A and B are shown apart, each in its own frame.
Chain A
Amino acid sequence: MNNHLPISISSAFEELRKNNKKALMPYLTAGYPDAKTFILLLKEIIKAGADMVEIGIPFSDPLADGKTIQSSSQIALQNGTNIDEIFRQLGELEDRYKVPLIIMSYYNPVLQYGISKFLKKSKTAGGFGLLIPDMIPDEGIAIENKCRTSGVDLIYLLAPTSSALRRKLILKRSQGFIYLVSVAGVTGARKSLPGKLNRWITQIKKESCLPVCVGFGISDLTQAKSVARVADGVIIGSAIIDIIKKSSGSQEAVSNVGRFIGKIRKGMDNVKS
């Protein structure tokens, strides 16, 4: 694979399927714990084997996030992080086209920045996917069309509470992949995942033409392996932010996160589906 050519989300999944691998998708809050360390962390997790990385644009009112990501967002905002700065940093990254980035932002920052301008800058910076936790297909027609024109995938979330009708709507309208929310609730590491989760993932996979990735609550190797057995990808967020928070200093955070991702990578690759 040529490391300097942009790859789309679909070609990344294609590649994974060929190699019989499942996608590992870690999450970082942009600007956390500070602008410089954020980039070091991003490079490190790509090196440690991430297939895609979800980058969270910090928002003042992240109502779908639990305490961990809330506080990382608050710190990032206090550090002066803003969209211009994030796209500038990502754009300067040499590794940026190695893996597709998924930009996670609440709707208001995207709206105020200007949707088309946001998508253009996102794409240039390697952000091939856009995930908006407070956007549902019912409100998404305009932004979906702009995403299609810009070549950025708009990824919708599917929840355990979604009815059959809504499931159909989301499976039809989501681009790139389906983001399956493992539990009703906010983001955050959980000790255990719902018992019925894997049966549900299997069901959705049968109905979906797109890859199905699972996020919310996945915090350790056992959970990642269990989900990877049936899903196409595993998203890990709060667990990583927790590791950064508990580390003393930038260097330690980078090496601890790298080790964690490396371990998950290895464990997931040994999973037989």
Chain B
Amino acid sequence: MEQPNKLGYFGDYGGRFVPETLMAALLELEEGYKDALRDPEFKSELKRLLSTYVGRPTPLYFAKSLTMKYKGAQIYLKREDLAHTGAHKINNCIGQGLLARRMNKKRIVAETGAGQHGVAVATIASLFNQSCVIYMGIEDMKRQAPNVARMNLLGAEVVPVDSGSKTLKDATNEAIRDWVTNVETTHYIIGSTVGPHPYPKLVRDFQAVIGRETKIQIKKQINRLPDQIIACVGGGSNSLGMFYPFIKDKSVKLTGVESSGNGLNTHLHAATLTKGKPGVLHGSFSYLLQDKFGQVKTSHSIAAGLDYPGVGPEHSFLKDQSRVNYVSVTDKEALSAFIELTETEGIIPALESSFALAYAKKIASKLPKKYILVVNLSGRGDKDLANDEVASLINKRLEARQKKGRE
């Protein structure tokens, strides 16, 4: 059966739990999207921009050195880090920006965690001449400072959010509040496969280009499908975009990697599907980190883009269906994968993508050499150099190198 159904449900998950004020806009968006899909001009404009502006298709790269280092499965990287603005987020933003233009909404609001979505939104707002307001937790503004500067330069207004956890969850609350207030003139570009219907479907559809390209590319390169695909899961847009075109290919194992932060047995993690329980946050019913009274817990991850206590409803569905296997790795494991990819392949990955790489590292050496692993490299890591832990790691390595040089 086609997912989601008419009411926006993926099995038991999804739906629309929103203030009534937003319903007009959600229904308008749903209609607007259906309408756009029937319009050949919309499709050709989207295709043209994805190719000539975003730089798609992004390459599928065989990481030979990394494969040799881990001594096992062959590792391929889907290079979303090479898309314009440096992450997969732009795929969704181009699509939604075009939709907003069709619906004659001249003002865009969005939330951002790592700042990659915020940068992508600010970029398309500049491209389509829309005014743009981005909500970002003050905690994230600190750890992703370079992206704040980029958004400012692109002409977006970045509004610091200091309520609650001061990260992605509360930035999303603020973006929704803005949208409720200015709903008639404003389109909300949600950054992940979360939120009320039709957003989880909309974002998935715009991101599915990742998986579609991967399928064509891997067939062209090795003439078969991969054995396993790995992607990190925060809200879940890069992973769903990658997985969705492979859902029906049962031979392909799909693995979503959550952030277990300081460890699953601590309070400091963001492993929603592993440790959460279904509940309602930001307009949809899905797995959620919460206490017994239904208060949403604060998540933790070194990767701002994974630091979210909820997850997209389709992931909850895929978990219950056992179609996707959800695992988690710690901040520490992700940091070492971050360094290893940089040193072996000359690619600085986003901290978010480093969680997927860390899981690949964990399993690669136990797998046979003919086994094909595809890792979705959802973004590049330049933005993370301002992160305290990354900066101190770089310093430590520099000191070690200098010491070695002196000896």
Query: What distance in Å separates the Cβ of B249 from its nearest Cβ neighbour in chain A?
Result: 34
Q: What 0/1 pattern do residues 129 to 172 of A give for CB contact below 8 A with B?
A: 00001111011000000000000000011111111001000100
Bound together, the chains give a CA A139 to CA B294 distance in angstroms of 18
Beta-carbon nearest neighbor of A133 in chain B: B19
Range of interface residues on A (Cβ < 8 Å): 35 or more
What residues of B have a CB within 8 angstroms of the CB of A133 in the complex?
A: 19
Q: Please classify the interface of chain B as helix (H, G, I), strand (E, B), loop, or mixed, using the class held by over half of its residues.
A: mixed
Q: Which residues of A contact B18 (CB under 8 A)?
A: 134, 136
Say if the beta carbon of A19 comes within 8 Å of chain B.
Answer: no
| Inter-subunit contact A138/B19 (CB<8 Å) | no
B4 → chain A closest CB, angstroms = 14
Contact A77 B295 (CB under 8 A): yes
Complex CA distance for A159 and B169, rounded to whole angstroms = 25
Which chain A residues border B251 with CB–CB below 8 Å? none
Q: Report the nearest B residue to A170, measured CB to CB.
A: B20
CA distance A60 to B288 in the complex (A): 13
Would A63 and B292 count as touching, CB distance under 8 A? no
User: Does B270 sit within 8 A of A, measured CB to CB?
Assistant: no
Residue from B170, B280, B283 having most chain A Cβ neighbours under 10 A: B280
Instruction: Report B284 CB to chain A, min CB distance, Å.
Output: 10
Counting chain B CB atoms within 10 Å of each CB, the highest count among A63, A139, A163 belongs to: A63
Q: Which residues of A contact B164 (CB under 8 A)?
A: 60-61, 74
Set B15, B20, B280, B288: member contacting A181, Cβ < 8 A = B20
Compute how far the CA of A109 lies from the CA of B292 in the bound complex, rounded to whole angstroms. Answer: 9
| In-complex Cβ contact of A184 among B16, B21, B169, B173 (8 A) | B21
Knowing A108-B281, A184-B180, the reply to whether A61 touches B20 (Cβ < 8 A) is no
* CA–CA, A159 and B184, complex, Å: 13
Contact A139 B163 (CB under 8 A): no
B25 interface residue, CB < 8 Å from A?
A: yes
Q: Could you tell me if B293 and A156 are in contact, using CB atoms closer than 8 angstroms? A: no
For residue B222, CB closer than 8 A to chain A, the reply is: no
**With a CB–CB cut-off of 8 A, which chain A residues contact B142?**
none
Supposing A63-B282, A74-B164 touch, asked if A136 and B293 sit within 8 A by C-beta, the answer is no
Contact A156–B20 (Cβ < 8 Å): yes
Q: Name which residue of chain B comes closest to A65, CB basis.
A: B177
Closest chain B CB from A142 CB (angstroms):
12
Closest residue on chain A to residue B296 by CB atoms: A60
The answer to whether B169 touches A61, judged by C-beta atoms less than 8 angstroms apart, is yes
| B26 smallest CB distance to A (angstroms) | 10
Answer yes or no: B11 CB below 8 A from chain A CBs: no
Q: How long is the Cα–Cα vector from A90 to B294 in the complex, in angstroms?
A: 20
Shortest CB distance B110–A (Å): 15
Inter-subunit contact B293/A158 (CB<8 Å): no
B216 within 8 A of A: no
The answer to whether B17 and A112 touch across the interface, beta carbons within 8 angstroms, is: no
The yes or no answer to A64 lying at the interface (CB within 8 A) is yes
CB of A15 to closest CB in B, whole Å: 29
Contact B20 A166 (CB under 8 A): yes
Interface residues of A in 170-198 (CB under 8 A from B): 170, 181, 184-186
Q: Are A186 and B23 in contact (CB under 8 A)?
A: no
Residues of the A chain whose Cβ atoms lie less than 8 Å from the Cβ of B280: 106-108, 111, 134
Report Cα–Cα, A135/B20, bound state, in Å.
8
Q: Within 8 Å CB of B283, what residues of A? A: 134
Question: Is there contact, CB below 8 Å, between A63 and B184?
Answer: no
Return the CB mask of A102-115 against B: 1 if under 8 Å, else 0: 00001111111100
Q: Let me know if A186 and B177 touch, CB within 8 A.
A: yes
Q: Are A112 and B21 in contact, with the CB atoms below 8 A? A: no
Give the residue name and chain of the A residue nearest to B295 (CB). A60
Most interface-central of B16, B20, B294 (chain A CB within 10 A): B20
Minimum Cβ distance to chain B for residue A228 (Å): 23
Query: How many angstroms from the CA of A157 to the CA of B164 in the assembled complex?
Result: 26
**Which residues of chain B from 246 to 290 have any CB-CB distance to chain A below 8 Å in the complex?**
277, 279-283, 288, 290
List residues of chain B with CB within 8 A of the CB of A166: 20, 23-24
Q: In the complex, which of the residues A74, A108, A160 has the most CB atoms of chain B within 10 Å of its own CB atom? A: A108
With A139-B17, A161-B21, A163-B24 as known contacts, state yes or no: A108 contacts B169, CB within 8 Å.
no
Q: Which residue of B lies closest to A158 (CB)?
A: B20
B276 to chain A, nearest CB (A): 12
Q: Which of B16-36 contact A (CB under 8 A)?
A: 16-25, 27
> B183–A184 contact, CB under 8 A?
yes
In the complex, whether A260 has a CB less than 8 A from a CB of chain B is no
Give Cα A59–Cα B169 distance, bound, in whole angstroms. 14
Report the Cα distance A62→B390, complex, angstroms.
34
What's the Cα separation between A161 and B18 when bound, in Å? 13
Q: Does A219 contact B (CB under 8 A)?
A: no
A82 touches which one: B22, B282, B293 (CB < 8 A)?
A: B293
- In angstroms, how far is the closest chain B Cβ from the Cβ of A66? 7
Chain B residues within 8 Å of A, Cβ to Cβ: 7, 15-25, 27, 163-164, 169-170, 173, 176-177, 180-184, 277, 279-283, 288, 290, 292-296
Binding site for B on A (CB under 8 A): 59-64, 66, 70, 74, 77, 82-83, 106-113, 133-136, 138-139, 156-163, 166, 170, 181, 184-186
Other A-B contacts than A108-B294, A166-B23, 12 sampled, CB-CB below 8 A, are: A64-B177, A108-B290, A112-B279, A136-B20, A138-B23, A159-B23, A161-B21, A181-B19, A181-B21, A184-B184, A185-B181, A186-B181
10 smallest CB-CB distances across A and B, nearest first, come from A112-B294, A109-B294, A159-B21, A185-B181, A108-B294, A161-B24, A159-B20, A60-B295, A108-B280, A64-B19
- 25 examples of A-B residue contacts, CB within 8 angstroms: A61-B173, A70-B163, A74-B163, A77-B295, A108-B279, A109-B293, A111-B294, A112-B290, A112-B292, A112-B293, A112-B294, A134-B17, A134-B18, A136-B16, A157-B19, A157-B20, A159-B24, A163-B24, A163-B27, A166-B23, A181-B19, A181-B21, A184-B184, A185-B180, A186-B181
